Amino acid sequence: MPIHKVRSDISVLNDSLEVPGLGHLPVNAFVLFASEPVVVDTGLGLPDRNFLEVVGSVLDPADVRWIWLTHPDRDHTGGIFDLLDAAPEARVVTTFLSVGLMSCERPLPLDRLHLINPGQSVDVGDRTLTAFRPPLYDSPSTVGFFDDRTGACFSSDCFGGPMADAELAQADDVGAVGEEDLRAAQLLWASVDSPWAQNVDTEKFLGSFRPIREREPEVVLSAHLPPAVGITGTLIDRLGSAAGASPWVGPDQAALEQMLAGLQPGGGRSAS
């Protein structure tokens, strides 16, 4: 799993998944080296991933004091319980709704929670992290944050985009992606991850970017995009056109059967 340094105090723990029909989707978690270290999301829940080992390659897990869970989808929670075991002083920062959704599978320990809502802040020693609702999201429990020391915006799924290949999905800067390819990828992801955007009032939707515009973050760190440095205005302008866009339509049963047929020896269907 590649690890990128965005600044001296931010590491990107990069993973990716190939999604048929879409491309290679970056799946990032982050370590913020505050005086009270913060891990942001905890990676994929696949059996061949060892998120705790990856965290341990950049700091001692026992030193982690905060785990910021942007939302409880399985590509964000894979290592959370292992990390809680290895970091006995860590608390999970997330929303009430995230906790409720997690409890459908395995409850988070209530005495280790720090519940937060958009607009509220957490002091992590040498900086303040202020929660906000990203303009695009796939879960109503989503909460990103601004780091007032680095000026970074941690945007959860927002601004993501599937890349053409694994190499681009693992890039240390989104500048490696061509401008038109990036635009197409981000608008595609908006239609996949936030299909509700087709129904929004355009003016209100554009207004939801105001917290990011006002903060003017130098760095945008999305769970599903290589690090984006110095292009925040461009990212905002691009995603503003997602309002009213038609949602992505995935493969149906006929397409699945065609894919399965192609996996059989000689391209034929199984005898069953």
Instruction: Tell me the C-alpha distance between 212 and 30, whole Å.
Output: 19
pLDDT in tens, 184-212: 999 999 999 999 999 999 999 999 999 99
Give residue limits of the domains in the chain.
Answer: 3-260
Query: Domain spanning 3-260: which superfamily?
Result: Ribonuclease Z/Hydroxyacylglutathione hydrolase-like (3.60.15.10)
pLDDT above 90 (res 220): yes
Q: Are 222 and 158 in contact (CB under 8 A)?
A: yes
| Lowest mean per-residue pLDDT among 236-240, 254-258, 260-264 | 260-264
Looking up tokens 């003016």 gives 203
Helices (H), the chain: 51-56, 80-86, 96-102, 166-169, 179-193, 202-207, 210-215, 232-239, 253-263
Q: Return phi, psi of residue 22, to 5°.
A: -115, -45
**pTM of the complete model:** 0.94
Neighbours of 90 (CB within 10 A): 23
pLDDT above 80 (res 269): no
Tell me the average pLDDT of the chain. 94
- Residue 156, CA distances (Å) to 27, 125, 254, 255 in order: 10, 23, 33, 31
Q: Which neighbouring-strand residues pair with 16? A: 26
Q: Return phi, psi of residue 13, to 5°.
A: -95, 100
pLDDT above 90 (res 78): yes
* The 3-state secondary structure of 6-67, one letter per residue: EECCEEEEEEEEEECCCEEEEEEEEEECCCCCEEECCCCCCCCCCHHHHHHCCCCHHHCCEE
pLDDT in tens, 223-234: 999 999 999 999
Residue type, 63: D
